[in-house]
Amino acid sequence: MRKLLAVLVLGTALSALCQPTELPLRLNAINDYGLTLDRHQRNAMSDAITELKDEGIHLVYLATWRDPFSDPGKYARRVFSEWGLGAESALIVLVRDERNRWHAAGQRGEAAAARFDDASWEEFRSKAQAEANRGLPGTAAVSWATNLKLLQEATPSEEEGPRVWPAVLMAGTGVAVVVLLARRLLCPHCLRPLRQQHTWGGIIRVCPRCRYSRAGRRGSGPGSRRGRRP
C-alpha cells in the first residue's frame, strides 16, 4: 500500500513537471509567438517601440495562441507581473482563442498609465481587436503601437512645465501699449493728462499746468511733436 501511494505521489509530481508553463518566456520587446508580424510589420513595430522608449515608455508586444485563463485581461495582468515589467512599461497583447477569434488586452504601469489616458487606451485596444478579427492581426498590432506613439507625441511632457512664453509675450505687449499711450496722453514734465485744443494750425495737446504742448498731428501751426513751453 505504501509503495502504491509513493508511486502515485511520484507520478503526480512528474506530471506537474512535464506540463508546459502557463506563461510564455519573454524574449525581448517583441514576443510574436502568434506569428502575426511579417518583416515590414516587425520593422514598423520596432520603430514605434524605439520612439516610445526615447520618450521614457517601454512598450512590450506579445502575440500568442494560448490563454490558460480564458480571460485576456487576466492573462495580460499575469504576464505583466511575471515578466517584471515596471512603472514605465506598457504591455499590449493579442491572443487567439480555440475558435480562432483574436482578443486584444493590455496592462500599463503607473507611469505609463499617466501618459496614456484610460479612454484612449481602451479606444486603441478595441480598434486593434476589431482589426485583428478582420484577418489582419499584424496590422492591428502595428496600428496599436503607432497610435500610442502619436498620442505620446501630442501630449506635452511634464518635464516641459507650464508654457510661460505666450504669457510673457502678452504681458510685454501690454506694457508697451501702456507706455506708448502714456507718452502720447501724459505731460512728460508733470504727468498731467494733456488736453486737446483747436488752434488755427490744427489740433494740439496742452498740459493745463505747465502749458507744455504737443502737436496732435503732422502739419504746420503752433506746437511740435517734441513739445514746447510758451
Is residue 51 included in any domain, yes or no? Answer: yes
Is residue 2 included in any domain, yes or no? Answer: no
Q: 151 and 51 share a domain?
A: yes
Q: 135 and 203 share a domain?
A: no
List, for residues 165-207, the tens digit of each pLDDT value: 565 566 666 666 655 555 666 676 676 676 666 666 667 776 7
List, for residues 84-115, the tens digit of each pLDDT value: 999 999 999 999 999 999 999 999 999 999 99
Check residue 222 and give its pLDDT. 42
Is residue 204 included in any domain, yes or no? Answer: yes
Is residue 143 included in any domain, yes or no? Answer: yes
List, for residues 21-59, the tens digit of each pLDDT value: 579 999 999 999 999 999 999 999 999 999 999 999 999
| 58: CATH | 3.10.310.50
Q: Stretch 211-218: mean pLDDT, rounded? A: 61
Select from 140, 155, 170 the last residue of a domain.
Answer: 155
Please report the sign of the dihedral spanned by the C-alpha atoms of residue 28, residue 29, residue 33, residue 35. Answer: negative
Helices vs strands, H then E, count in the chain = 7, 7
Q: Which is nearest to 129 in space by CA: 100, 101, 99?
A: 101
Q: 119 and 194 share a domain?
A: no
Q: 73 and 136 share a domain?
A: yes
Is residue 86 included in any domain, yes or no? Answer: yes
What is the domain extent for residue 79?
A: 20-155
Q: 127 and 30 share a domain?
A: yes
Select from 107, 134, 155 the last residue of a domain.
Answer: 155
* Total structural domains within the chain: 2
List, for residues 114-170, the tens digit of each pLDDT value: 999 999 999 999 999 999 999 999 999 999 999 999 998 876 554 444 455 565 566
| β pairing state of 102-108 and 195-199 | unpaired
User: CA torsion, points 92, 150, 89, 98, in degrees to nearest 10?
Assistant: 0
Check residue 210 and give its pLDDT. 74
